[in-house]
Amino acid sequence: MIINERIYNSLQQEIKQMAEKYTFGQQFNSWIDNFGFELHNKLPSLISIELTNEIQLLIDNNEKYNKFKLILNKIPKFSYFCDIGDLYSLWQIIYIKCFEPVIIIGAGVSGLTIASNINKQDKPVLVLEARDRIGGRVFTNDNNMDMGAAWLHGSENNPLNELIDFNTLIPVSKCNPWMHSENTPIEYMSSEGNISEDKRQKMATKWNELATKIGNIPNKTIIEAYKQIINDTREVNESKSHDNDDTDLLSFLYMIEVWCGGSIKNISTSFLNINVNDIIDSIDKIDYTSALFGDYGGSHYIFKNGAKSLIDAIINTSTNISTNRNLYDNIKCNQIVTNIIYNDYYVEVHTSNGQIYCCDKLCITIPPGPLRNIQFNPPLDNAHINALSKLKMGSYKKIQMEFYPNDIFWNETKNSPMFLTHNSKNNGNNYYLNESKVNSESESEIKSKIDIKDQDQDQCPYILWNNYKFSKNKPFLEAICPANIGWSLTGKPDEEIIDMMMTQLRNYYPIVPEPKA
């Protein structure tokens, strides 16, 4: 039981008896019986200095309310509302300080996890979700394919482990398959065809050595440090291009963007920083395979039945045993928060459909973009505004194509969870190292020019394909288009995007059937 619920029930009954002698008593009593998070039923006519003074005397002179009185005395507005007879505002404070209700904005994994723990503690909690569904970036379709988040990244000491049945997970790699692809059977396809496993491992070793050097160059972006190292180690000649090995090596830059969702033009070299002292086998030898930069400890998995199983687990473990209250009952969808009004004793949350909710504490779990659209009153201080301005969200576009079961054309990669293709028109050397128009533009500039014709198939120097025939025995291929590659696809029609993806596949498979969906 909530520690002040007994106080609230007792106070409510005594005040209801006091209110009966007033003409508005029945209306007031019905109103406080239904008082809760939602404040759309505010009654401005509830003004009575006589009743508010009686309420204040009841609290001041009754020993059983001494503890509660100490709480109310810390709120100067409480006496003020008593003096002006504002029953509505007075009762709002009483409800909030008795129950200490919590509102959470966002029904993604973070919001639901927090709400689950609060619900189990038998405290009032309300989750407001802008979409018409819960899950946030987790969205599993009817084929158990994940349109959004799909992975458990690093199972070592992962806080989600207690919610997961590992029998329902599909292990893909013992460590990060994007940042350390040498530990995962990924098929690499260069402009000349498949790269042998021996060559791929040599490329990975060379990349790990290079990444270690990049990580130790301070105050630069990854691409700036990469260019510096290349320029320091070879004679620069504008008429001389990189050989194929170096061009293939640039695919590792793309893999960083796949992992981060951000451009290497913006990612700091510190992302690749490792403690060399921890990985030295001898005075003159470094074991680069232990240099797991950019990784979380433990294996990486995908969800056999989709990441919705994680959402279901959070909900299923959230039921309050004493009240049998399920978290589903405390979630409201289609609630776009527009304004937040707060002070020392309460928070009001306003939504686009005119609803107003009140709480003692507010937890915001939404991404930076929607957060910037919320008006705070009073405005956030400069420290919070500056921090918010520095938050960035990456771009991570997933293009899923379903083929007919008899049209599986990528059988040579049947033992690989992923394979990597190159664009014959635009290799990594052109895309990452030349000051081309696209690579020099910021994400915002790209998004503002997505309708320009010249931003076409040449935007994808590489594509990493998730092979769901291998992992889920489903005839699906999923193309990953991160960072600026993903931004350049924004707003394009599905037919155009699919044509871009198919063009790159046909570089290696001349006869590729049209996808089913």
Interval 208-252: pLDDT, tens: 888 888 988 999 999 999 999 888 776 544 444 455 566 678 889
SS3 at position 49: helix
Q: Model confidence over 28-79: pLDDT tens digits? A: 898 888 888 886 555 666 889 999 999 999 999 998 888 888 888 888 889 9
Residue 47 has what DSSP assignment? B
Consecutive H or E run containing 205 = helix 197-215
Counting the structural domains of the chain, the total is 3
Same domain, residue pair 55 and 89: yes
Q: How far apart are CA 420 and CA 431, in angstroms?
A: 16
Largest separation between any pair of C-alpha atoms in the chain:
96
- pTM for this entry: 0.84
Question: What is the edge-to-edge ordering of all strands in the sheet holding 347-351?
Answer: 356-359, 347-351, 337-342, 375-377
Domain that holds residue 220: 177-294+394-517
Same domain, residue pair 377 and 406: no
Q: Which residue has the tokens 């988040």?
A: 149
Residue 342 maps to a domain: yes
Instruction: Report the CATH number at residue 331.
Output: 3.50.50.60
Residue 220: its pLDDT value, please? 93
Residue 439: its pLDDT value, please? 46
Q: How far apart are CA 289 and CA 300, in angstroms?
A: 17
Same domain, residue pair 266 and 217: yes
Q: How far apart are CA 393 and CA 444, in angstroms?
A: 12
The mean pLDDT values, 10 residues at a time, for the chain of 517 residues are 73 93 89 80 75 92 89 89 91 89 96 91 90 94 91 88 90 88 85 81 88 90 91 58 65 91 90 60 45 74 93 84 76 96 91 92 92 93 86 85 92 84 81 60 47 49 93 93 90 91 88 89
Q: Supply the DSSP string of 94-139, one letter for each residue.
A: HHHHHH--EEEE--SHHHHHHHHHHHHTT--EEEE-SSSSS-TT--
Contact between residue 408 and residue 402 where contact means Cβ atoms under 8 Å apart: no
Same domain, residue pair 185 and 118: no
Q: Which of 84, 99, 114 is the last residue of a domain?
A: 99
Cα 186 versus chain centre, distance: 26
Q: Which of 99, 121, 140 is the last residue of a domain?
A: 99
Instruction: Report the CATH number at residue 188.
Output: 3.90.660.10
